[in-house]
Amino acid sequence: GQQLNQSPQSMFIQEGEDVSMNCTSSSIFNTWLWYKQDPGEGPVLLIALYKAGELTSNGRLTAQFGITRKDSFLNISASIPSDVGIYFCAGQSTSGTYKYIFGTGTRLKVLA
Amino acid sequence: DADVTQTPRNRITKTGKRIMLECSQTKGHDRMYWYRQDPGLGLRLIYYSFDVKDINKGEISDGYSVSRQAQAKFSLSLESAIPNQTALYFCATSDSRRMNTEAFFGQGTRLTVV
C-alpha cells in the first residue's frame, strides 16, 4: 500500500538540541498532519497543515506544508525528555476518498 | 473520558478463534477508520466507513470484517485469528463536515494471537 517516506527512522539527541524530521510523497496532498505516539497509547495530533507553504507552530513545535504539496517537515526546538516517542506524518489524499496515508514514523530518544 | 474509546485494551486469543474489537466515539464524527500498526510499517488502513452502513476496504482488509450499525460505533472482527494478525489496532474518526479534517485516534488495542 501507499506510504510516505519519513526520515530519519530514529534519532538520539541531547536534551536542549533542536530536532528536524520530514516526510515526502510522490502524491499531492490536501492536508498534512503530524502526530506523536507515546508507548502504549494512540497517536495524538500535534499540528495540522491545510495550505501549501503554510508554516504553523505549536509551542516548541513548528511544521511546514511544502510548496509542492508533496512534502512536510516538523521541527522541535530545545528538546526535553518528554519529547521521547514516535512521530508520524500523515497526508490526506486529493483523490476524493479522504483517506489518510501515514509515514513509517520517526522514533525520537532524548538523552538527558 | 476519551473521545474515542477502544475495548479491550489488550487481548490474547488462540489461533482460529473469532474476536471482535470495539470502538465508540463521542465526537459526533461521521467517518471512522480501523488501522493496524506493526513495528517499522507505520499505520495501515484495514477498513473505513463514511456513514452508518457504509463500509469500504482499506489496503489490508483480508481476514478482517467490520460493522457500522450506529454512527458512534465501529467494530472490527477477525473471523479466524492467525498469529500474523498480532499487532496494535487503532480506531480513528474524522468529520466530513469540515473542509480540512484531522483524524483522532483511540488508545489502541494490543492483540496477540497464539
pLDDT in tens, B47-59: 999 999 899 999 8
Q: Residue B76 is placed in which grid cell?
A: 472490527
d(CA A30, CA A93): 6
- What pLDDT, on the 0 to 100 scale, is given for residue A4? 85
Using the beta-carbon criterion (under 8 Å), do A102 and B48 form an inter-chain contact? no
> Could you say which residues from 15 to 54 on chain B have a Cβ atom under 8 Å away from some Cβ of chain A?
31, 33, 35, 40-45, 48, 50
A34 to A52, A100, B28: CA distances (angstroms): 15, 12, 22
The pLDDT of residue A2: 64
Residues 6 or more apart whose Cβ sits within 8 Å of residue B91: B4, B6, B21, B23, B25, B32, B33, B34, B35, B74, B76, B105, B106
Q: Which residues pair with B12 in a beta bridge?
A: B112
Neighbouring C-beta atoms of residue B14, cutoff 10 Å = 10
Q: Which residues of A touch B (CB under 8 A)?
A: 1-3, 6, 9, 30-31, 33, 35, 40-45, 48, 50, 88, 90, 92, 97-100, 102-105
DSSP H/E element including B78: strand B73-78
The closest alpha carbon to A24, from A65, A70, A55, A63, belongs to A70
Q: How far is CA A60 from the centre of its chain?
A: 14
| Residues A76 and A16: beta-carbon distance below 8 Å | no
pLDDT for the residue numbered A92: 86
Query: Does the beta carbon of B107 lie under 8 angstroms from any beta carbon of chain A?
Result: yes
* Best residue in B30, B43, B62, B98 for a mutation probing chain A (most A CBs within 10 Å): B43
Would you give per-residue pLDDT tens digits along chain A (112 residues)?
566 899 999 999 999 999 999 999 988 888 999 999 998 889 999 999 999 999 999 999 999 999 999 999 999 999 999 999 999 999 987 665 667 889 989 999 988 7
